[in-house]
Amino acid sequence: MIKYETKMRVEYYETDAMGIVHHSNYIRYFETARTELFRSMGYSYNELEKSGIFMPVLSVDAEFKTPAVYDEVLSVFCWVEKLRGASIVLGYEVRGSESGQLHVTGSSSHGFTSPDLKPLRLKKEAPEIYEAFRKAME
């Protein structure tokens, strides 16, 4: 299983009055991380959408272990946890790049749909992409 690592730096506008990253921003970091995982597999999400394959978020969850702070460099790991014919589950781990400290874990599930958000059987409609996801999970 490939745990793809995306590095990013905490911006000032992502912190809150507690002096730490506001928890809602990790949900955004997850999005950046899965986008980069897909890109590393040869499929930019932008091009997927342009070719008619959307992946709307069905659910998301996150556990906040320790706070990340302003200017910290984060390593956000993302991997394919489960793959079904018309949906996928991704896993996430956010760590301090230098400290290695675990900040957040989480997962998100996504449907494969047409642009009008109707379910689409990826395995049948785009078998090469399905195969790429399947391999990434191994």
| 2 touches a copy of itself by CB under 8 A | no
The mark string for 54-93 relative to a copy of itself (x by CB under 8 A, - otherwise) is x-xxxxxxxxx--x-xxx----------------------
Is 16 assigned a catalytic role? yes
Least Cβ distance, residue 41 to a copy of itself (angstroms): 15
- With CA atoms as reference, report the closest residue to 107 among 77, 136, 69, 68: 77
| 28 touches a copy of itself by CB under 8 A | yes
Name the residues annotated as catalytic.
16
Residues near a copy of itself (CB under 8 A) are 11-13, 15-20, 22-25, 27-28, 31-32, 35, 44-46, 54, 56-64, 67, 69-71, 117
